[in-house]
A and B are shown apart, each in its own frame.
Chain A
Amino acid sequence: MDSIVVRAHDLKKHFHTKRGIVRAADGVSFTISEQETLGLVGESGSGKSTVAYTVMGIYPATSGELVFKDQDITGAIKKRSKALKQDIQIVFQDPGSSLNPRRTIRQILELPLRVHDTVSKKERVDRVAKLMEMVELPVDFMYKSPPAIGGGERQMIAIARALATDPSFIVLDEPTSALDVSVQAKIINKLMELQKELNLTYMFITHDLSLMRNMASRVAIMYLGKICEIAPTAEFFSRPLHPYTQMLLSSIPVVSEQEEELKPKKIVSTGEIPSPVNIPPGCSFHLRCPSKMEICSRIDPNIVTPEENHQVRCHLFPGAAGN
């Protein structure tokens, strides 16, 4: 299936704060095709959550193009049609605060049904029960409140909530970062199962590269508001081109010798991650880059496509210096 579901071109989201302009997302371009999972990876300040929230409509875009199935979605939620709201859903990061601790599971799952009036009042309980079965939770959890169930179960409820309106596209913002490894495994497997069953398209955000390796069909890595590299998953991990990608990959702890061999040579990272209020001139990564050249502190590189489907933003590659 190659029809494009989401298209972003030069998407920017800036925040005006007392300390200056925060260029959280600064010219981000990508496409997501049907039933694909685009992975967004990056450290704090990279802008990955900002991109996700802008796609969701929690923030309106500052500038640039953002299109969902041929409809412009640069506006915030309030400006979007009901159909759009039903079609695009999100699973937030922290299951502790993405569910209102003072409401019951039933109330939480019924809310999207009530707002969008997709089922009649009598049938709502049935639909809630069905949603819970989809995520393999016992139906009598309906009358419990979030604090009474575990973190993994709460995240399953968050997923069920996202599925309530039959969406075709779901943004998953670090859905398992706060969870243990064995619980994460259950959730990820369930997400992949649901993707196949319901023909879903995902935008998956995480800082865990090993998880990304198994979840995404394409990966984009962000640093200080810009995408540094974007490629199909296998390619991204076997031939990382951008120095930041290589640095990140070489720092992750792995559990087997096999995996050690797959990692690029160790690049020791130095320095702190700059704050997005204070982005260095030229290429934003140059202060920490082991391959820094003279041009890097002056000119911000453009994105180039050195290999098929594999784009990178770095002066090491011809054409990046642009005009």
Chain B
Amino acid sequence: MSTSATALEQSLRSRTWERVKKGWYTFSKNPLSIVGAVIIVAVVFLAVFAPLVSPYPEHAGNFVDFDNASKPPSQAHLFGTDVFGRDILSRVFFGFRLSLIMGVTVISLTAPVGVTLGLIAGYKKGTWVETLIMRITDIFVAVPPLILALAVAAILTPNIFNSMMAVSLMWWPWYCRMVYGIASSLKNEFYIQSAEVTGASTFHILFKEILPNCYGPVFTKVSLDMGWVILLASALSFVGLGAQPPTPDLGTMVADGGKYMPDQWWIAVFPAIAIMFVVFGFNILGDGIRDMLEVEKT
């Protein structure tokens, strides 16, 4: 029995390795996906190691050096300095931190909630459960995220945490709808009926049978959403609802730098390019992930 156990384990390992290899092959078929992956890896690295990698890490906090203020890009300051004399390159690296944190926070709150509700609503299609969940979803979808964030800001203190909560409230319905579509179409597949006939619990059917078939679209959406959330967060910061000074936030940097356009263009342009860079990276990474996770045709 032990010999066949190790043989089985070996075949499990080799099968997993095969899947990884095949996944990489499909992913790398499109060179853009590699570009996306490189960009995101770079951004994550810069964000995580910002204190070590930035040329002037202390500029991310309370720092002023008016002698060096508003200097154009140079060897000492690749992205130039802002009105307080702070190195923009370093602040961009730290800005990445905030962007990624915001993206991860919103998505880790909204995706599980939305996906679960979508699974339940889709599987219970035709019952009051579905109606209840989907109508609530419809209500939330109807409100534009930015308006809600502004409303929240009017009621609560405008800071990054409250803005993220507001965005999260608006974000979960999209996961719910997407998974609802998949779950309701899979509901009548033979393998789901087979699980029902066997007597599997609803929990099992939702999370072990239907959910694995949703990984592709969900993870693609997660990647694309990172880009969107970062963009939305930047927009909120731009209107003053984001991180408060002196925390380096890409959106705030663009807003502040806008006043000095076009003469001291570097103060706004570099953070803006950074935002674009990250969003673009997540977008094409998302495409690559979608290609990789496409359900194998039987």
Binding site for B on A (CB under 8 A): 56-58, 77, 82, 85, 89-90, 92-94, 96-103, 107, 111-112, 115-116, 125-126, 129, 139-140, 142-147, 161, 165
Contact residues of B: prevailing secondary structure:
helix
Is the beta-carbon distance between A82 and B190 smaller than 8 angstroms? Answer: no
Is the beta-carbon distance between A147 and B297 smaller than 8 angstroms? Answer: yes
Taking A56-B197, A100-B212, A115-B198 as known contacts, 18 extra A-B pairs with beta carbons closer than 8 A to each other, sorted by chain A number, are A58-B193, A92-B193, A96-B298, A97-B190, A97-B191, A100-B191, A100-B192, A100-B195, A101-B213, A101-B295, A102-B213, A111-B198, A129-B4, A139-B4, A139-B8, A140-B7, A142-B8, A143-B12
List residues of chain B with CB within 8 A of the CB of A58: 193, 196-197
Which chain B residues (1-47) contact chain A, with CB distance < 8 Å? 1, 4-5, 7-8, 11-12, 15
A102 to B215 alpha-carbon distance, docked (Å): 10
Q: How many Cβ-Cβ contacts under 8 Å join chain A to chain B?
A: 82
How far in angstroms is the closest Cβ of chain A from B123?
A: 14
List residues of chain B with CB within 8 A of the CB of A101: 213, 295-296, 298
A157 to B119 alpha-carbon distance, docked (Å): 27
Is the beta-carbon distance between A102 and B212 smaller than 8 angstroms? Answer: yes
How far in angstroms is the closest Cβ of chain A from B174?
A: 22
A103 and B15 contact, Cβ closer than 8 Å, known pairs A58-B197, A111-B198:
no
- List, sorted by A's number, 17 A–B pairs whose CB atoms are closer than 8 Å: A57-B197, A58-B197, A85-B197, A92-B190, A97-B189, A98-B194, A100-B209, A101-B295, A102-B215, A103-B212, A139-B4, A139-B8, A142-B8, A142-B11, A143-B12, A145-B296, A147-B298
A285 to B168 alpha-carbon distance, docked (Å): 61
Is the beta-carbon distance between B197 and A126 smaller than 8 angstroms? Answer: no
A294 to B73 alpha-carbon distance, docked (Å): 99
A126 to B296 alpha-carbon distance, docked (Å): 29
A85 and B198 contact, Cβ closer than 8 Å, known pairs A94-B190, A99-B191, A100-B191:
yes
Is the beta-carbon distance between B199 and A82 smaller than 8 angstroms? Answer: yes
